[in-house]
Each structure stands twice: as C-alpha cells, then as structure tokens.
Amino acid sequence: MTQKVTLSDDQWRKVLIPGQFQVLREAKTEPPYKNQYWNNHEKGIYLCAACGNELFGSDTKFESRTGWPSFYAPLARDKVTVTTDTSHGMTRDEVRCARCGSHLGHLFNDGPAPTHLRYCLNSLALKFVKATKDR
C-alpha cells in the first residue's frame, strides 16, 4: 500500500467514527488504560484505522506501563513519518501514517532494545488483525 490516500475532512468523517476522527485527523489523545489495545497480547498486525496501511507487528509490541499500545519499531521505516509536534506547550515527535497522514501517536527514546524507541500510539488510530496459520 504505497499509493497515498488524500481525503477531505468531510470524506474522513464519513468513513471514521467520531473518536477515530478526533484522534486520526485532529491529533487528539485517548485516555490511558481505557482503550482497546493497550493490554492486547495476541499475535498479529496493527493497521492504520483510516487507510489500512500495515504499520506495526505484535512482535515489536511491549508493555510500557503507560496505558497505550507501545512498539519499539514499525514493520518498515517507510510505514510511518515522524514530525515535530509543539502542541500543549512541549516539543515531541509526532508519529503519522505515511500513507494517509493520520495522527497515530508520539515517539519517545525510552523504549527497549534493540531500538530504544517507544512508539506510543492511540488504539483508536489502529485496527488489529489477528494472525492466522497462513500469516
């Protein structure tokens, strides 16, 4: 999935539920520990909830004790983009889907080896596809 997805806000509102629109398109953050995937331990792939881009695998997910799903690496470097976020009076690295530009979460340098990175993401920004025997 390398073809870019560009929709207007009105078009995104038609395909996303309100919470997803707030997170993915307005860069809001869902509450910790009250989201779908923070404690998910099943094997599979996490997709962008907006466009279906395959972003992260369960093999790089780890328990960060933050209340949000956290990963130490994406499936491939070109799956996400990282930009500077200066909202809320702080400077952070924002993680976006490289295919549709949707806000996924933030990147921190306090993760485990081998990358020492923590991609701290919103569950509403993700769709989980459970692994099957074929995958």
Do the beta carbons of residue 110 and residue 116 sit within 8 Å? yes
From residue 124, how far is each of 48, 54, 83, 112 by CA, in Å? 9, 15, 20, 24
Instruction: Based on the residue annotation, tell me whether 48 is a catalytic residue of this protein.
Output: no
Catalytic residue among 51, 97, 100, 120: 120
DSSP assigned state of 33: T
Tokens coding 9? 């806000």
User: What 3-state class would DSSP assign to 12?
Assistant: helix
Tokens coding 135? 């995958």
Q: What whole-number distance in Å separates Cα of residue 34 and Cα of residue 123?
A: 9
Active site residues: 120
